[in-house]
Amino acid sequence: MSVWPAIDARGLGRVAVLMGGASAEREVSLMSGRGVLAALQSRGVDAFAFDPAVDDLAALRASGAQRAFIALHGRWGEDGTVQGALELLGIPYTGPGVLASALAIDKAMTKRLWHCAGLPTPQWRQAASLAEAHAAAQELGFPLIFKATHEGSTLGLKRADSAGEVAAAYGEAARFDSQVLVEQFIAGDEVTCAVIGAGDAARALPLIRIVAPGGNYDYEHKYFSDDTRYLCPSGLPAQEEAQIQQLVLRSYRALGCRGWARADVMIRASDRQPMLLEINTSPGMTGHSLVPMAARAAGLEYADLCLLILSQAALDQPHRNPVPPSVPAPDGKEQQP
């Protein structure tokens, strides 16, 4: 008997699958969105594609969309902006809400909150100039990882092993963002853990251990190469895997996430301490993506995963009265309260 709930696809209504968008991850988003759209339609959902970079979001209301599956990645897709627009339109959407999305897209803010919650994450500094990057490197020591603070998909990620490599690493990250995260490099096993649900009902999926050529899990190896190995089952001791799943659930709840997300974790080789790196609130759903892989290991096929995520679409502030009544203004004209 399946541990996953049965979902009435017809009861989900008309669904807009948001894909594409204007971020640096547009092409990956289109791949994710097409996969989700085909999966939902295969289960009988009245779903259609919607690209916010092509069509005005206001058209969603006229389209009759009753839910939105967000398959957008990066800025303007998983940073709270499209979530805010959907809140105003009164269209329930997948994934975390406005605040959680805005917090999670900002790697530095995510780490600050995790640090305040007592959750382990590598030491870091933020740099807005090459001089600040050099100062951060001197303070943190080498090796270091440089990341674009507000980008995903490993865009702009580069390692520096010495002071002579800081300029190149900072420059690569700064191509994508005015704010660069400088983070201590953690040597060890790299794993990722997906979460589905909200609050106490949130559930962590099986871990996936990532083994990339030369330890370089970059954009190419993430989405297009067949050289990267993804181990699920992870091969880790059961107790260690359970410990990391609980850590990820705590990190998910600390940010106020709901719906679904995926957290990346490094297990420090020196003492097997898991260290939280970042959390993705609109994970990829491509042929190389990791959430579908973990879901399969938990007995949930791709199309059913899409249905489950869609069934949890919600609003931060459900509309009790979508069209506020007009009230008379002192000058006799109508105004909105």
Verify whether residue 44 is a known catalytic residue.
no
Verify whether residue 63 is a known catalytic residue.
no
Point out the catalytic residue in the list 23, 101, 153, 289: 153
Verify whether residue 264 is a known catalytic residue.
yes
Verify whether residue 278 is a known catalytic residue.
yes
Residues making up the chain, counted from first to last: 337
Verify whether residue 262 is a known catalytic residue.
yes
Point out the catalytic residue in the list 223, 252, 282, 304: 223
Point out the catalytic residue in the list 278, 282, 289, 304: 278
Point out the catalytic residue in the list 106, 172, 264, 304: 264
Point out the catalytic residue in the list 262, 282, 289, 302: 262
Point out the catalytic residue in the list 25, 79, 183, 241: 25
CB 150 within 8 A of CB 75: yes
Point out the catalytic residue in the list 29, 101, 280, 289: 280
The catalytic residue positions are 25, 153, 223, 262, 264, 278, 280, 284
